[in-house]
């Protein structure tokens, strides 16, 4: 597995789940399809290619007919996230959520729809489309990838869908994060989780991000202005955008989940992001509780929910998990060379540890130790 921030004892607040990943929430499955092909000068339609697709099933592939209560927050919605108007109107999301590059959103959405309904008659198709919302988000990987060539095909989306699993999540330059950068370093997919006591129970909350945002001078790790302290060349360009998905087993209603999604943005801000003009910063929050609420249309439907008096612990968990997920996306990614020799440098682990140590924000582990 790639290096994660905690592997180098970067300090974070809160108690993570066993995997410190969104899949700590029971039932969540994540799948990737990664395309890395070719080197050298850009030849549109030929490459080089550095791109992919990532999918998240909140209730797993077996639970696509049980929608989740859902909320959305557009911190700076300068980008595309399909299905959001319906999600906000109903307060629900069913089926998988996907992230990919900016030129492949439509293909991913349509492939998911076809995959959901393959082999079904019209009546069953209407059931599936009524219970699922095809939510697909994008960030722009054109610094490293022949994005105009649209190299993602239906078979790549299906690979991610059918390969989705519970357990540890591969991070960094994988899936939709393959060609992405954050804070002018190579980044991509990152995840983290928290376990909290709130009201009558213990709940797990996980966040997964596709990080492609921020300027180097903004990068903040564990409260330290690491980006300003690092030496070396500066690209002074923002790739633009971050998509974050938060899933929790805490029983929350849609207005509460919208507030959780807002806190994902606060967690991203802890890493230095300010939501710059061309950065599409968009966040979802979903609850896997109440699976039977929408099981049929007869009679009164019932749902349990946590009183707002107990929600602060989950707000805090969302901030903490989002912050760590972004930093994990950086630590897990190695230097990548893409089109025309464009280079996204990997975050220099040793230099970061030295800076954190100098600021008194490191737990004492040396890289050789």
Closest residue by Cα to residue 240 from 183, 314, 318, 161? 183
CB 353 within 8 A of CB 8: yes
User: Which DSSP string corresponds to 112-168?
Assistant: HHHHHHTT--HHHHHHHHHH---EEEEE--TTTS-GGG----HHHHHHHHHT-BSS-
Angle at CA 184, nearest 5°, toward 37 and 226? 135
User: What Å distances lie between residue 249 and 58, 87, 120, 143, 259, CA to CA?
Assistant: 10, 19, 31, 37, 16
Helix, coil or strand: residue 11: coil
Angle at CA 196, nearest 5°, toward 271 and 283? 45
Residue 171's contacts (CB-CB under 8 Å, 6 or more residues apart) are 2, 4, 177, 188, 189, 190, 191, 328, 329, 332, 333
User: What Å distances lie between residue 208 and 136, 169, 201, 345, CA to CA?
Assistant: 14, 9, 23, 22
The gap from C-alpha 143 to its chain's centroid, in whole angstroms, comes to 20
Beta strands 181-182; 185-186: pairing state: antiparallel
Positive or negative torsion for Cα 105, 108, 112, 114? positive
Give CA–CA dist 361/161, Å, rounded.
Answer: 40
The gap from C-alpha 326 to its chain's centroid, in whole angstroms, comes to 9
Closest residue by Cα to residue 330 from 226, 248, 258, 223? 226
Give CA–CA dist 359/356, Å, rounded.
Answer: 5
Q: Residue 287 is encoded by which pair of tokens? A: 């609850």
- Residues with a known catalytic role: 241, 279, 281
């Amino acid at each position: 597995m790639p290096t994660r921030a905690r592997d180098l004892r970067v300090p974070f607040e809160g108690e993570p789940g066993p995997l410190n990943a969104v899949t700590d929430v029971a039932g969540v499955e994540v799948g990737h399809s990664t395309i890395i092909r070719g080197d050298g000068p850009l030849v549109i339609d030929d490459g080089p290619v550095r791109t992919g697709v990532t999918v998240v099933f909140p209730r797993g592939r077996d639970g696509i007919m049980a929608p989740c209560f859902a909320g959305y927050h557009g911190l700076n919605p300068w980008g595309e996230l399909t299905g959001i108007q319906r999600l906000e109107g109903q307060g629900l999301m069913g089926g998988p959520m996907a992230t990919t590059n900016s030129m492949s959103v439509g293909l991913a959405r349509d492939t998911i729809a076809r995959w959901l309904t393959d082999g079904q008659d019209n009546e069953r198709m209407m059931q599936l489309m009524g219970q699922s919302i095809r939510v697909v988000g994008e960030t722009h990987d054109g610094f490293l990838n022949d994005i105009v060539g649209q190299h993602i095909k239906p078979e790549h989306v299906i690979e991610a869908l059918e390969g989705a699993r519970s357990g540890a999540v591969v991070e960094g330059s994988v899936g939709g994060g393959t060609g992405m950068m954050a804070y002018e370093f190579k980044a991509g997919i990152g995840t983290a989780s928290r376990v909290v006591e709130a009201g009558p129970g213990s709940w797990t909350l996980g966040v997964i991000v596709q990080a492609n945002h921020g300027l180097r001078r903004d990068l903040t790790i564990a409260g330290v202005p690491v980006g300003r302290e690092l030496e070396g060349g500066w690209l002074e360009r923002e790739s633009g955008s971050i998509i974050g998905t938060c899933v929790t087993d805490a029983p929350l209603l849609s207005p509460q989940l919208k507030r959780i999604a807002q806190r994902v943005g606060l967690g991203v801000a802890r890493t230095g992001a300010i939501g710059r003009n061309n950065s599409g910063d968009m966040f979802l929050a979903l609850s896997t509780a109440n699976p039977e609420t929408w099981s049929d249309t007869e009679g009164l439907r019932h749902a349990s929910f946590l009183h707002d008096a107990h929600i602060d612990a989950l707000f805090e968990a969302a901030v903490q998990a989002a912050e760590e997920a972004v930093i994990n996306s950086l630590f897990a990614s190695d230097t990548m060379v893409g089109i025309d020799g464009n280079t996204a440098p990997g975050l220099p682990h040793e230099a970061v540890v030295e800076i954190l140590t100098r600021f008194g924000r490191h737990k004492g582990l040396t890289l050789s130790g």
